[in-house]
Amino acid sequence: MSIREEIERREKEMLAAYATLAVNSSGREREEEADPIRSCFMLDRDRVVHSKSFRRLKHKTQVFIAPPGDHYRSRLTHTLEVNQIAKTIGAGLNLNIDLIEAIAMAHDLGHTPFAHAGEQILNSLLDTGFRHNENSIRVLTRVEQHRMGRGLNLSWEVLDGVFYHSGYDTSDKMAATLEGQVIRLSDKIAYVQHDIDDSIRAGLLSREDLPKEYLDVLGNTHSKRIATLVNDTIVHTRRLINEKSEITVKPSPEIDQALKGLRRYMFDFIYNGPVCQAERSRAGFIIEHLFGYFKKNPRKMTPVYLEIAEEEGLERAVADYIAGMSDEYCISSFLDIYVPRSLVPEAKKAWVKD
């Protein structure tokens, strides 16, 4: 028996009946020989963490574009916070932590530079529209390159969880696995709470500004609110499952409404507020001009995007190229292309003998 088979056997013996077992995975688009050590979900997680797209998350905006100081969240730190919250919920429900971690690490790989500002402008520029959850699937299945071909060739359950991580209060469609449902909720728990924290740090909010009716339910501090949401989700979901009334990951109605209320508050006063709108306008200007430039000069893109242009059209390739950029690279590309600078080579230093 291989080490992987030992791990798969332990999953069968220890995980809940409603957990997703690696041995029961629906598989990959391209069949592969099984790893001798890692289960399919462990392998998926490792492929994501070692990808270029994952590394670029450290320089992609979460909410505020290039804020001063080292303590604001980036898209990478958001991903790590989602992972931590989701694994705690998963442990409390006895779910497959490897699958949870694989989805968590991959769920935001499709985000553009400048966060939702970039997403909105690309959505307006593409006839087919642009949504970051769908683009995360594109990154994982087409844009990233693996030794066995295009994409990372991840398991179906991981891709399903990534695709359905959005739309918490706008869609009834959810991931097929409870692990995927954990990510959907953990994403909202993480960003609502840490965006409040960052907004207070930026001086755009004070604790006194937050709606008291929601704080009375969730708690008055960052850590207390997260603890309330995590603990309540575990207890309420276990109750639903034990009563055989529903197998769905969700908090109790009162807690759920408080979370959604805080989320609406953040949209009204921060995400759609004057500071983010001003940043969004500037970011949109940069992305729109880069989009036009690379449409006229496609050979300035790297070979994989030229290949996409031949197969799926130039606009799709340009969108893929820009979406993969970090904030810093996007800005530096704009400066290199559009900001005048001297092209005269530096004069060689003349050396004169004494």
Confirm whether 285 is domain-assigned.
no
Q: What residues make up the domain containing 184?
A: 3-21+34-111+137-271
In this structure, of 122-131, 240-249, 292-301, the range with the lowest mean pLDDT score is 240-249
Cβ-Cβ contacts under 8 Å for 275 (sequence gap 6 or more): 64, 202, 204
pLDDT tens digits, residue range 55-90? 999 999 998 877 777 889 999 999 999 999 999 999
pLDDT over 90 at 228, yes or no: yes
* Average pLDDT of span 340-351: 64
Largest Cα span, the chain: 95
Half-sphere exposure of 175 (CA within 13 A, CB side): 29
Q: What's the whole-number mean pLDDT along residues 229-249?
A: 94
pLDDT band at 279 (very low <50, low <70, confident <90, very high): confident
Q: Output the average pLDDT for the chain.
A: 93
Looking at the chain, list the stretches that DSSP marks H as alpha helix, in order from N- to C-terminal side. 3-14, 40-49, 52-56, 75-93, 97-106, 115-125, 132-138, 156-163, 178-201, 212-218, 222-242, 253-266, 274-296, 303-312, 314-323, 327-338
**Domain count for the chain:** 1
- pLDDT tens profile 281-322: 899 999 999 999 999 999 999 999 999 999 999 999 999 999
Q: How far apart are CA 117 and CA 233, in angstroms?
A: 31
First-to-last alpha carbon distance for the chain, in angstroms, is: 80
Please say if the pLDDT value at position 98 is more than 60: yes
pLDDT at 170: 67
- Three-point CA angle 78, 75, 165, nearest 5°: 65
CA dist., res. 129 & res. 123, Å (int): 4
User: Within a domain: residue 170?
Assistant: yes
CATH number where 173 lies: 1.10.3210.10
